[in-house]
Each structure stands twice: as C-alpha cells, then as structure tokens.
C-alpha cells in the first residue's frame, strides 16, 4: 500500500511542477535554516576543545551591582582582584582558572599589519582548559609570579608571524611594542569559545590592565573546576556565600548579583537575563517561538497548495468513493502522500544544510569554527518533516473526505 501511495505522490508532484517547486522550496529552506541554527547552538553549547570539562565546570562572567533605592546599576565583567582575593580562597573547586577578555594588539610582519588577540591568564588556566599543544608547553606558576615575558600562541599566529609550519618554540614574537619568548604553540580555538579563545596567551602579571585595583568589576573571567565525583552546584552555593559577605562599604550600591553558572547560562544571563534571572527560560521561549514561526509559515503555504491540489483530484476521489473507499482510507492516503512530499523536501534541506555548513567551515567565515550535523540535528530534521507533513495534510485531507460522490464526479 505504501508503495502505491509513493507512486501516486510522485505522479502528483510531476503534474504541477510549479506548485511542487514552491512546496519543496518552502520545506527545504525552512529546514535548512533550522538545521544550520541548531548546528550553531550545538557548537557553542557542547563540551568541546579546549573546554572539555564543561560538565564539571561553572563559569563566572558578570558582577551586577545595584542601588535599589535610586535605580542605579553597574554591570561589568569581573576584576582580577575579586577573582584572586575572594574566588581563589574557595574550598569546593579543584582549580580556579582566571583569564582576561581577549583584546586586539597590533604588530607588523613584512610591512603588513597583523592583529593578535591577546589573553592574560593564570597558570591554573592551563589545567582547567585542555589545549592541544603542537609545540612546547604552557607557562607555570613561577613564571607568572616572576612576570616572565613568555607566551603561548595559536597555530594561526605562528603561521602568520613566523611562516607556515615553521617551529616557533624558543623564538621571540613582538606585539604592542613588547617582545615575548614563545614557549608553546596550541591548536586554534574558535572565536565562539569566549572563555578559551585567544591568539596569544600571556601571564596576567604582564597585563597593562590595572589588575591590582581593588574594584569588583573589571576585564576578567573565571572558570571553577569541581573536584572529581563532587556536585558542581556546591561551587555555586559557596560562591554565593562569598559574594554575599563582601561589604558595600565605600560604594553607592546596596545589592549585588554574581553567579557561578553553567556555560550556557553565563551567556543567557548576559543577553536575556539579569540579576537573579539566568535568562535560560527566556532563551527557551524565544528559540521555541522562532522554530514555531519558521515551521508555521511553510505549513500554511502547504495547506493552501495541498487544498488546491486535492480539489483538482475530485473526480479521482469520486471514483474511489463510488467503488467503496472509505473516508478514513482516503484521508490516510493523502496524509501519507504529503508526508512523502515533506520528506523529499527534508532530504533537499539536509543536503543544502550540509553544503552551507561545509562552506562556513572551509571559508573561515567564523575563524576556526567547525560546525557539524550530528545525530540530534538529523533527528530534529526528521521530526520537523513529520510535523510539516502531518499538519499541512490534515485540513486538506479532511476537506477531501467531506466531498460527496456525486459532487466530486460532477466537478470535472
């Protein structure tokens, strides 16, 4: 029976090629957008190089201070002073990684300007993050304390500054009018990995940022790594205790918010949340609405097209009813045909998605990012096809089942 439905569906698709093109375009375009979007979200949210211990980690990004009487507010990243003096004293984490937001510096190679994004870190940063070293090794605590001018650079920085494939360990690199001895070269990190991305990593003790100033807000981020077998949420509880005990003396604020979040929540809090609101709920609602709207537009389009197509087949419906076909049988046939149509569109969408993702990866449109279509993304496409096919076929099939035999036979 399914084979017959498939043959009929293909014949119907060939009958009105323009309508078929519009239907397939709507399905494939929508699925392509959803799959590429899902690949981006999956790339950012999953544990990946160099942040491979994300299930044991909690992320420190914001210090939100407010005066609830006059409504004033100050939100910024964290200061090195706060992370070093208060967070480093925590008992629950195994390690505390401290790093600055990367910032661009300029250097010149063969009279060409090269922009190097510099990131300042502590030595524990290299134990929390798992970088793949192509050459050398990371700097150690003693080198940080001695403010040695050493640096770990990315593979792209090595190739751009010294030449592709040329060893850089032990050589000197100059940027922002300072020379540093290269002690390590790491595999490139995509810019979407905010906590780990950089072209050049330098001990925080060399930072020109006023990291000794005793403010709570600044230019740094933190990552807490839980001990093996322990609950990462215990770090959030201890962190909240530390934040709540910091006095407001000398400030205009009377309320302070800062959280040890999961990786995703650290970003949703920044964009969609604030204060005690992590923004996760808002993120889910917005994502669901976007997916719903993207799915509804082609569904409504398919309903109109399918209704026109079914009405064109009224004589066929009349003949089948005259020979004893029940309304339920006809409804099942037309819904099945429509699901077949959406699956064809879904396959086209998957191929388009694969092509677009390969283009993004190969063109370096987003530096060092590597998007993939994994099982979850493919499953999302299959479910979307089923939803498209069912929703866009139910109403036209119901209209068809309501036709009387005489009316259907007279229509043509």
Phi-psi region of 181 (alpha: psi -120 to 50; beta: other; left: phi over 0): beta
Whether 55 is covered by a domain: the verdict is no
What gap in Å lies between CA 106 and CA 378, rounded to an integer?
A: 43
| pLDDT top residue among 382 and 172 | 172
Do 198 and 227 reside in the same domain of the chain? yes
Looking at the fold, whether 252 and 314 belong to one and the same domain comes out as no
Q: For strands 178-186 and 220-226, give the pairing.
A: unpaired
Q: Is residue 267 part of a domain?
A: no
Q: What is the pLDDT of residue 322?
A: 62
Same domain, 249 and 144: yes
H helix or E strand, kind and range, residue 154: strand 150-154
Note whether 191 and 291 are same-domain residues.
Answer: no
* Residue 140 token pair: 């150690």
Count how many domains the chain has: 2
Assigned domain for 52 exists: no
**For residues 370-386, average pLDDT:** 73
Mean pLDDT, all residues of the chain: 83
Return the C-alpha torsion angle 134, 135, 141, 144, nearest 10.
Answer: -110
**With 80 as the cut, is the pLDDT of residue 17 above it?**
no
**Residues 318 and 221 placed together within one structural domain of the fold:** no
If asked whether residues 100 and 244 sit together in one domain, one would say: yes
pLDDT of res. 313 = 60
Name 381's Cβ contacts closer than 8 Å, sequence gap at least 6.
31, 34, 35, 346, 349, 350, 353
The C-alpha atoms of residue 151 and residue 201 are separated, in whole angstroms, by: 6
Distance, CA of 365 to CA of 247 (rounded, Å)? 46
Three-class SS of residue 338? helix
User: Is residue 360 one of the residues assigned to a domain?
Assistant: yes
Q: Are 246 and 217 in contact, with CB atoms under 8 Å apart?
A: no
Rama region for 117: left / alpha / beta (φ>0; ψ in -120 to 50; rest): beta
Top-ranked range on mean pLDDT: pick from 11-20, 237-246, 358-367: 237-246
Hey, which residues does 108 pair with through a beta bridge?
Answer: 113
Residues 33 and 132 both lie in one domain: no
pLDDT for position 408: 47
Q: Do 217 and 299 reside in the same domain of the chain?
A: no
| For residues 43-70, average pLDDT | 88
271 is a domain residue: no
Band (pLDDT 50/70/90 cuts) for residue 320 is low
Report the alpha-carbon distance of residue 78 to residue 92 in Å, rounded. Answer: 20
Q: Quick one: pLDDT band at residue 410, thresholds 50, 70, 90?
A: low
Q: Answer yes or no: do 160 and 184 share one domain.
A: yes
Query: Which tokens belong to 143?
Result: 């080198």
Q: Which residues pair with 268 in a beta bridge?
A: none
Q: How high is the pLDDT of residue 290?
A: 82
For residue 30, the model assigns a pLDDT of 79
Helix, strand, or coil here: 137? coil
Last residue of one domain, picked from the residues 226, 260, 294 = 260
Q: Which domain holds residue 302?
A: 2-46+282-411
Co-location of 211 and 299 in the same domain = no
The DSSP-derived string for 183-243 is EEEE----TT-TTT--SEEEEGGG-SS-TTS--SEESEEEEEEEPTTS-THHHHHHHHHHH
Q: Is pLDDT at 355 greater than 80 in this prediction?
A: yes
pLDDT above 70 covers a percentage of the chain that reads 78
Residue 222 sits in the same domain as residue 143: yes
Q: Indicate if the pLDDT at residue 409 is higher than 60.
A: no
* Residue 24 included in any domain: yes
State how far the Cα of 266 lies from the Cα of 39, in Å rounded to an integer. 20
Helix segments in 246-313, DSSP class H? 263-271, 280-312
17 with 116, same domain?
no
70-74: average pLDDT: 83
Q: Among 154-163, 229-238, 390-399, which stretch is predicted with the lowest mean pLDDT?
A: 390-399
pLDDT in tens, 175-203: 988 999 999 999 999 888 889 999 999 99
CA distance 261 to 254: 22
Query: What 8-state DSSP symbol labels residue 86?
Result: T
pLDDT(92) > 70: yes
Name the residue with tokens 């119901």.
398
Q: Does a structural domain hold residue 190?
A: yes
* Integer Cα distance of 269 and 11 in angstroms: 52
């Amino acid at each position: 029976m399914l084979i017959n439905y498939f043959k009929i569906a293909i014949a119907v698709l060939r009958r009105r090629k323009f309508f078929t093109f519009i239907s397939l375009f709507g399905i494939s375009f929508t699925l392509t957008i959803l799959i590429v979007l899902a690949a981006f979200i999956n790339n950012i949210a999953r544990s990946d190089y160099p942040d491979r211990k994300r299930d044991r980690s909690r992320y420190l990004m914001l210090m939100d201070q407010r005066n609830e009487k006059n409504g004033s507010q100050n939100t910024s990243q964290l200061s090195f002073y706060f992370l070093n003096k208060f967070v480093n004293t925590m008992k629950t984490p195994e390690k505390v990684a401290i790093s600055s937001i990367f910032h661009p510096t300029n250097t010149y190679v063969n009279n060409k300007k090269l922009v190097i994004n510099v990131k300042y870190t502590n030595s524990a940063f290299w134990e929390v993050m798992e970088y793949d070293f192509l050459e050398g090794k990371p700097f150690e605590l003693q080198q940080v304390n001695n403010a040695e001018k050493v640096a770990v650079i990315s593979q792209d920085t090595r190739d751009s500054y010294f030449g592709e494939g040329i060893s850089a360990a032990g050589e000197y690199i100059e940027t922002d009018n300072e020379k540093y001895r290269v002690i390590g070269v790491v595999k490139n990190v995509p810019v979407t990995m905010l906590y780990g991305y950089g072209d050049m990593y330098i001990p925080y003790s060399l930072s020109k940022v006023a990291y000794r100033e005793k403010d709570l807000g600044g230019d740094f981020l933190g990552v807490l790594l839980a001990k093996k077998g322990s609950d990462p949420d215990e770090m959030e509880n201890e962190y909240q205790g530390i934040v709540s005990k910091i006095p407001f003396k000398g400030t205009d604020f009377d309320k302070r918010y800062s959280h040890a979040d999961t990786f995703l929540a650290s970003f949703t809090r920044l964009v969609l949340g604030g204060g005690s609101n992590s923004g996760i709920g808002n993120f889910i609602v917005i994502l669901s609405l976007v997916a719903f709207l993207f799915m509804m537009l082609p569904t409504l389009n398919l309903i109109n097209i399918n209704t026109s197509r079914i009405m064109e087949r009224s004589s066929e419906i009349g003949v089948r009813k005259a020979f004893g076909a029940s309304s339920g049988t006809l409804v099942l046939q037309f819904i099945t045909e429509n699901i077949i149509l959406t699956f064809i569109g879904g396959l086209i969408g998957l191929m388009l998605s694969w092509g677009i993702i390969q283009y993004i990866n190969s063109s370096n449109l987003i530096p060092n990012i590597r998007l993939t279509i994994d099982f979850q993304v493919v499953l999302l496409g299959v479910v979307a096809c089923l939803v498209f096919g069912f929703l866009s076929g139910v109403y036209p099939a119901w209209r068809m089942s309501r036709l009387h035999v005489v009316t259907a036979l007279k229509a043509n």
